[in-house]
Amino acid sequence: MSGLILYDFGNSVCCQKVRIALTEKGLSWEPRRVDLFKSEQYDPEYLKLNPKGVVPTLVHGGVPIIESTLICEYVDETFPDPPLMPKDAAARTRMRLWSKFVDEGLHDGVTELSFSAMFRERMRAMTPEMRAKRFANVGDPRRTDRFKSTYEYGVHSPYVLHGIAAYERAFKLMEQTLSEGGPWLLGERPTLADINLMPYAARLHNLGLLGCWTEGRPNVERWWERVAAWPSFRRGLHDLISEHELSEMRLHGPSIRDAVAAKVAALRTA
Ligand SMILES: N[C@@H](CCC(=O)N[C@@H](CS)C(=O)NCC(=O)O)C(=O)O
């Protein structure tokens, strides 16, 4: 047994990153579900492990590790085979630049896009008390502002546009990078650069939105096809999405597609 416990929640993108990395390492883990829609992430016992009140948290040998990008690096350093980070220091910084794209833009972007397409509906169905608790957060007023804005304005929230623009910057650079090398972002082998991006592309795909960015970007399209067929992606992400989650994404994604496509097109011609 690897002695790993993963606090996670079904379709959470940052949990999916960690699951793909663990799967590629051939590791098993004990899953502990934290239901975000029941605000279990704010449970005082959970906050002792993850004071940010978010998933995932990996506990290894009793030590909690938080932040999915850091968790993936921890997993790679602790369980070296197969390596998921380049040995060369300069290449490692290139890998981390892709992680920064995710942590500094795509993550908030995917949250707002998903929220505007489907979680907004779920929140409408909550009691006012449950909704207030969900908005309350743990000491991060920026997150509360984003939540409230997207709840109110949906796909027309400025925060959704920020997310769309973050994706546009990432996919533009991916196209250029892959056209100069490939087939993976850092060359012949998948690294954490690819793994960290996979759930963020997969979510757009499942919402039926990925084409808004990949059309006219053949290298990114090929990268996505390669990802979709990669066994650790299939076992660590695809196979763990329930039919209900999949159908929810497929049902609600198209409701924002035209608005998203128009915003991407405006950015691409700007
Ligand atoms: N930077 C953090 C972000 C974690 C995060 O935002 N997780 C989401 C799920 S993907 C979450 O737990 N959200 C809690 C909430 O919605 O209240 C990481 O990468 O671990």
Give distance in angstroms: CA of 128 to centre of ligand 1: 22
Residue 67 beta carbon below 6 angstroms from any ligand 1 atom: yes
CATH at residue 67: 3.40.30.10
Last residue of some domain: 17, 44, 78? Answer: 78
Between CA 262 and CA 268 the distance in angstroms is: 10
Q: What is the pLDDT of residue 101?
A: 95
Cβ pair 257, 209 in contact under 8 A: yes
**Parallel, antiparallel or unpaired: strands 30-33 and 4-8:** parallel
Q: Identify whether residues 244 and 114 lie together within a single domain.
A: yes
Residue 258 lies in a domain: yes
Between CA 192 and CA 198 the distance in angstroms is: 10
Question: Quick one: which of 194, 189, 206, 197 has its CA closest to 240?
Answer: 206
Last residue of some domain: 78, 101, 123? Answer: 78
Q: 140: domain range? A: 89-269
Last residue of some domain: 78, 99, 123? Answer: 78
CB neighbours of residue 93 within 10 Å: 10
Residue showing tokens 């883990």: 29
CATH at residue 258: 1.20.1050.10
Helix %, strand %, coil % of the chain (to 5): 70, 5, 25
Q: Work out the average pLDDT over 111-132.
A: 87
Q: Work out the average pLDDT over 151-172.
A: 96
Query: How many domains in the chain?
Result: 2
Give distance in angstroms: CA of 270 to centre of ligand 1: 32
Long-range contacts of 215-222 (CB under 8 A, 24+ apart): 217/171, 217/174, 217/175, 219/174, 219/175, 219/178, 219/179, 219/182, 220/171, 220/174, 220/175, 220/178, 222/178, 222/182, 222/183
Q: Identify whether residues 36 and 98 lie together within a single domain.
A: no
Between CA 18 and CA 79 the distance in angstroms is: 13
Helix (H) or strand (E) holding 77, with range, is: helix 68-78
pLDDT 10s digits, 219-264: 999 999 999 999 999 999 999 999 999 999 999 999 999 999 999 9
Residue 202 beta carbon below 6 angstroms from any ligand 1 atom: no
Between CA 270 and CA 264 the distance in angstroms is: 10
Give distance in angstroms: CA of 52 to centre of ligand 1: 8
Residue 189 lies in a domain: yes
Predicted TM-score (pTM) of the model is: 0.94
Give distance in angstroms: CA of 121 to centre of ligand 1: 19
Residue 43 beta carbon below 6 angstroms from any ligand 1 atom: no
Q: Identify whether residues 175 and 127 lie together within a single domain.
A: yes
Q: What is the pLDDT of residue 132?
A: 81
Q: What is the pLDDT of residue 165?
A: 98
Q: Identify whether residues 66 and 108 lie together within a single domain.
A: no
Q: What is the pLDDT of residue 216?
A: 96
Residue 68 beta carbon below 6 angstroms from any ligand 1 atom: yes
Q: Identify whether residues 97 and 137 lie together within a single domain.
A: yes
